[in-house]
Amino acid sequence: MSIRLDPRRVGTLKQLAADANMRPGDLVRQWVEERIDAARHGAPAPAATADLASRLAELSARVAALESMTAPTVAAPATTAEPVAEPAAEPRVDPEAPRPRRGPRKRVAASPSEGRVALHDEMIAVLSERGPMRAAELAAAVAERGRYAPPRSGKPLDAAMISQRVSNPTYRARFTRNEGRIGLAETAE
């Protein structure tokens, strides 16, 4: 039997399996067997209730840690005419508290300092200089210019990425395809 999972969930499954010192397939099999046994007896799965209790305790600890980090401090009213500034207290760090999630790390790109260059803009610039090209040739020319940096994924530019951009309904009106060559539509500048 095979199942399909969202890639993000596969990563989580692998992490959970590593934490349990098991292979991912064995962990999934164990979960399915527990659910089937529970359904037969009309009771919740034993691991599910124990897991739920431990998760609830963990979440309660996290909430308490977050509350202690963000609790406002009440200062006594100043007795002098001029308010005295107290030194900023360093935030309390609970070693058991989860670390705040950060967004994805910014990658250093070889793009111009004025900002990111969109792929379709770079494709239009290359096509206006050199004329119609095959997707692979266009990808190589865009990469050669060095102004476009792929966002988020960091996947290198290839013919498939060029072809996807040309086929994208948002940009379709800017490009034409003729005998395997990509060119500029009449309205694209």
Distance CA 126, CA 134 (A): 12
Query: How high is the pLDDT of residue 134?
Result: 92
Over the chain (189 residues), the average pLDDT of each successive run of 10 is 82 86 88 86 64 78 78 53 57 63 55 67 90 90 85 78 87 87 76
pLDDT digits (tens, 9 = 90+) for 14-68: 888 888 888 888 888 888 888 888 888 876 655 556 677 777 788 788 888 877 7
Q: Give the number of other CB atoms < 10 A from CB of residue 42.
A: 6
The domains of the chain are located at 7-69, 119-184
Please say whether the structural domain 119-184 has been given the CATH code 1.25.40: no
Q: How far apart are the first and last CA of the chain?
A: 53
DSSP for 127-148, please give it.
Answer: HHHH--B-HHHHHHHHHHHT--
| Phi and psi, residue 174, nearest 5° | -90, -20
